Structure 1
Amino acid sequence: MKIGVFSYYDIYNKDNGIFDKNRYPIGENLEYPFVLLKEKLQNKNITIETLDQRPLEEFDSFLFLDFPSNNIEILNKAKSLNKSLNLVIFECEIIKKNNWIKTNHEYFDKVFTWNPDLVDNEKYVKFYWPNQVPSQLKYGNEKKEKLCTMISGNKINYDKRELYSERIKAINWFEKNSMIDFDLYGTGWESGVFYNFFNPFLKNKISFKVLNKLDRDNMLPSFLKKNISVYKGKVNSKIETLQKYKFSICYENAKNISGYITEKIFDSFFALCVPVYLGENNIKKYIPENCFIDYRDFKNFNEIYRYMINMSDVEYFSYLENIKKFVLNDKLDKFNAENFVKVLIENMKYSK
């Protein structure tokens, strides 16, 4: 049996790129769930590969990673072959609205989602964001070179739930008040960020699209954006970088979206770096509250900073011990890649 896999992001669709760690620009071990899926399927004499490896007609079923709105012809061709189609929804609606349009789901026999509001355990099956969970966590106080860091891409969005602007507020706070305590890493920061007076325009759908396109095409005058002085460049290893800091600013791409908990908070856990978290409203339902700092517990970022800077070693190492217990005592099992692969293999539609 042969399964064809196709991602919304073209970088993964050639030469089995979805299984190649070098194709992933930011993050840690993001290819691992798919490598593991390939391995487990091979044990069942099932091949999974990208669609460029053979004619579409030779595949028995298809696995789409996010709705392929940029390649509808591929989807229509697969559908016309009367083969089974499966969809895994990763991106939330502020990033990829087409993922969440119910009529788009009519193409598929099975839809896998992290959003519990959709799950019916028939067509819609629940998964938790997959991570490669380490077997041990190491730390030493001597590794903590600075107080706080953030590793993220520089993005903008007009949706009211977006948290990209909150990341920039945190960056601006450190630049204004305590540059020595903060380093920023990631992609897209080289050209700077919009000045604050652009914020109303970024919240308007039409003006946002105009500004975003001009920015992507490098057509904006440089004086409209300010450089980020705390920016330190890209990272080779997210976890190795996080290990050098006591705390990390860990905001999801969006808030108020049920079940949307991505790898961001787990990367901090695996590095034994205490995250300042903002995102899923019910995060404490999934993760013990003694493992992270909840942004919502503070009136402003000044209070968060004072809490971090004044934290005793005893309290800090208590956070780390709580993180270790959560990660290593099987409490994280729902979020490991093994569980993700198990859910897919047991629920995918393999043939008509």
Structure 2
Amino acid sequence: MKHASIVAARHRQNEIFRPDDAGPNGREFFLPYRMLRDYFREAGIELSTADMNRGREVLFELHVNARRSLPECPAYAYLYEDPIVRPLNGDPAWLSRYRKAFTSNETLIDHRQILRLDYPNDLSLRAVPDFTGRDQFCVMIASNKALRHPDPRNLHDKRIEIIRFFEKNAPVLFALYGKGWNIPAVRPGLAGRLIKRVHQWRSRIYPGQPFPSYRGVVRSKAEVLDRARFSICYENSRGSPGYLTEKIFDCFTSGCVPVYIGTANVAELVPEGCYIDGDRFSNPAELLCFLQSVDAARYARYQVEIRRFLASPESVRFTNEHFCRFLVDVILADLMTEHRLSNA
């Protein structure tokens, strides 16, 4: 068995392969990495976090997000974060140091060294409640966090706007879930991070409820989305073309209709009949009026379109299976090419 390393944030001792729901907001964040490890193992390669491979000869190193320090062995990068969050992920000169880089950012893809790879998702079809089987009208599952630096593409303010609108005008129709909402809305920049720490310290001494709609964290998103008719599904930012994260797909697999704002070309990636375009509405009141107009028959049409998409070949590119197979196939082919060249 040969050995390879994966470097992701501060994960050590193979933590990235944990078999539980320890990911952000109750999502099975680690599942695709467990599957990736299994796929490499089938090819005779044991994938481990770098600390587990000290003293071993390593075949290659896979970075989740670009890093400033590269190993002597071949290095590959999966660019999980959008460059708005991690600027290094959008620097072509820096990315050229990798053997291959994988990204959903369409502005970077050259189909040679930088290849297209979408966010992985579990898109397994299952039975879900219909319109009448859902006892929550509208929900949001998100973390109370902002971009590290102020940016006009930030969508956290849009989330706050819709939360406050529902709390004031239709409190019984809305529920907020996720991490960090026991303090006031987080702001971007250094000042925002400092103020956040003050609020966190105060909340431990003087617990409060800055957001009356807040219902707490969730163990599994499906526990909420299976019960909700609609979900306010805003990305963290208006990211690069192709930036489509798990948020919209979590809704789809629960049969919940998402109100989506994010990448500008979402209609090129997902059929328009599967979601509600949040940018269609000039204000939250207009959005609420539309949501209340959706009856059981119209809701059923959304669910039919969602299910049709999930069962179609067009959804395969967003699956865990495609993510793992593509990474393994490309990396192994590249290593074989290097081996042939080194022996020529």
Q: Which residue of 2 aligns with 1:241?
A: 224
Residue by residue over 1:316-337, the C-alpha shift from the partner in whole angstroms, topping out at 9 and shown as x without a partner, is 1111111111112333111111
Do the aligned residues in 1 keep the contact of 2:22 with 2:29 (CA within 8 Å)? no
Distance 1:299 1:341 in 2: 40
| Contact persistence 2:241–2:263 (CA under 8 A) | yes
Which amino acid in structure 2 is aligned with residue 138 of structure 1? V
8 A Cα contact 2:125 2:253, kept in partner? no
- Measure how far apart 1:103 and its partner are: 3.4
Counterpart CA distance in 2 for 1:30 and 1:221 is: 30
Cross-structure match for 1:2: 3
| CA shift digits 1:179-202 (9 cap, x unpaired) | 1000000001111226xxxxxxx5
Candidates 186, 189, 195, aligned match of 2:181 = 189
- With over 3 angstroms needed to count, the CA separation of the structure-2 counterparts of 1:103 and 1:303, relative to structure 1, is same
SS at 1:332's partner residue?
helix
Q: Larger deviation: 212-221 or 257-266?
A: 212-221
Cα distance change, pair 123–227 in 1 and its aligned pair in 2 (3 A): same
2:39 aligns with: 40
For structure 1, the residue ranges without an aligned partner over 5 or more in a row are 195-201
Q: 1:318 aligns with which of 289, 296, 301?
A: 301
Structure-2 separation of matches of 1:93 and 1:55: 31
Unaligned runs of 5+ in 2: 339-344
Give the alignment of 1:85-234 within 5 angstroms: 85-157=75-147, 158-193=150-185, 208-216=189-197, 218=199, 227-234=210-217
The residue number in structure 1 matching 2:59 is: 60
Question: Any idea what SS the aligned residue of 2:213 has?
Answer: coil
Pairing 1:17–2:15 present: yes
How big is each residue's C-alpha offset from its partner over 1:154-174, in whole Å with a ceiling of 9 and x where there is no partner?
012311111111111110110
Question: Which moves more between the two structures, 268-277 or 57-66?
Answer: 57-66
Amino acid across the alignment from 1:228? F
* Equivalent position of 1:258 in the other structure: 241
1:51 Cα deviation from its structure 2 partner: 1.0
Deviations 1:231-266 (A, max 9, x none): 000001101211111000001111152100000000
Deviations 1:295-348 (A, max 9, x none): 122221111100111211111111111111111233311111111112211212
CA distance in 1, matches of 2:185, 2:298: 35
Shift of 1:30: 2.0
Contact 1:143 1:245 in 2 (8 A): no
Specify the SS of the correspondent of 2:110. coil
Q: How big is the shift at 1:54?
A: 2.3
Contact preservation (8 Å) 1:132, 1:336: yes
* Counterpart Cα distance in 1 of 2:213 and 2:165: 11
> 1:102 and 1:160 mapped to 2: Cα distance?
23
- Looking at structure 2, the residues matched to 30 and 177 of structure 1 have their Cα atoms a distance apart, in angstroms, of 34
Runs of 4+ in structure 1 off by over 4 angstroms are 217-223
After superposition, what is the alpha-carbon deviation per residue over 1:34-64, rounded to whole angstroms, capped at 9, x for unaligned? 1111111111111101112121652111000
Does the 8 A contact of 1:214 with 1:220 survive in 2?
no
What fraction of aligned residue pairs are identical, expressed as a percent? 28
Look up the SS of the partner of 2:314 in the other structure: coil
Amino acid corresponding to residue 128 of structure 1 in structure 2: D
Between 1:18-27 and 1:183-192, the stretch displaced more is 18-27
Task: Kindly state the Cα deviation for residue 267 of structure 1 after the two structures are TM-superposed.
Answer: 0.2
Deviation of residue 215 (structure 1)? Answer: 1.4
